[in-house]
Amino acid sequence: MAHIADMTKTTYREAVRAGLREALLNDPRVFLMGEDVGKYGGTYACSKGFLEEFGPERIRDTPLSESTFVGAGIGAALGGMRPIVEVMTVNFSLLALDQIVNNAATIRHMSGGQFSIPLVVRMATGAGRQVAAQHSHSLEGWYAHIPGIKVLTPATVTDAKGMLLTALKEPDPVFIFEHAYLYPMEGEFAEGALPVDIARAAVRRQGKDVSLITFGGSLWKSLQAAETLAGEGIEAEVVDLRVLRPLDQATILASVKKTHRAVVIDEGWRTGSFAAEISAQIMEGGFYDLDGPVARVCSAEVPIPYPKHLENAALPQPEQIVSAVRSLMR
């Protein structure tokens, strides 16, 4: 637990930027590359001023060719560098799936452990900003399906910086999904909590009646729902998964054993969602602890709409979480 003296207020964006800058200052092998990371300062301003401070050798703008620059990052990692590759948004990362699935995730195994790829890939994910379907989906659950990579979903300012710094020490590829709606969010940064663990979930709120299991941008909606439920006498425990691969099953099952009910909140689509994986693992490992079926709150089965009222309607909202819990408690 960090001391009060260690707590400072900052935004999620500035926490990411501080982590990137610290990494660049501390290790000459680290460099940043991606679309608009240099002169423009990053699509979400996370690398603003870096080109002037570190120069074009270490802050590299790339063409709009995800397969090419993710592949170049893999090659640089194989050559002994510590690249941080920024993909503008998760939707466009699909153009690099061949490099990710067939190279980044497999080379250690296909080389019999002779080669490692210490690569960090960052990308924005999620909706809520009215940037329409091609910039708004939550596909991190797809990446969690792939053995050979780690998948991180930092939701707090401390994790936004700390997970990046820890990821750079990993010998294998790490993919960090930063929910774009969180960038302007302010929070307490806990310096004393560093280094941040990238193997375990975190219980963000203690409770005894129901487990709200979530990650990324949905964490804050779940905490808001838990506040509402507390006013009705229902104490919800909120579990922030933080890491989708490897999944911390022990923390999930311990929470369910304590509360006997579970609602999984996932901004992905319900069909084939990561929420379905969590539900299955609870059924396999905690079935006899349950007093009712596992409930899921997911995005509507549509491409994310542009109009604000439709976008809000398509996404998990605190009211839906509260309603799901009320149904379980009945």
| All structural domains of the chain | 7-193 (3.40.50.970), 202-329 (3.40.50.920)
> What is the predicted pLDDT for the residue at 4?
47
> What is the predicted pLDDT for the residue at 1?
46
> What is the predicted pLDDT for the residue at 188?
93
How many other CB atoms are there within 10 angstroms of residue 29's CB atom? 16
pLDDT along the chain (330 residues), means of 10: 67 97 97 96 96 98 96 98 97 97 97 97 95 94 97 97 97 97 94 89 98 98 98 98 98 98 97 97 97 97 96 97 96
CA distances from 236 to 102, 153, 307 (A): 41, 21, 32
How many other CB atoms are there within 10 angstroms of residue 309's CB atom? 8
> What is the predicted pLDDT for the residue at 191?
84
Catalytic residue among 135, 137, 179, 267: 135
Which amino acid belongs to residue 134? Q
Structure tokens that stand for 6 in this block: 């260690």
Residues 67 and 81: their CA atoms lie apart, in Å, by: 19
Catalytic residue among 14, 35, 66, 311: 66
Annotate 155-209 with three-state secondary structure: CCHHHHHHHHHHHCCCCCCEEEEEEHHHCCCEEEEEHHHCCCCCCCCEEEECCCC
**Is 66 a known active-site residue?**
yes
Structure tokens that stand for 271 in this block: 């069909």
Residues 319 and 298: their CA atoms lie apart, in Å, by: 13
| C-beta of residue 34 within 8 angstroms of C-beta of residue 85 | yes
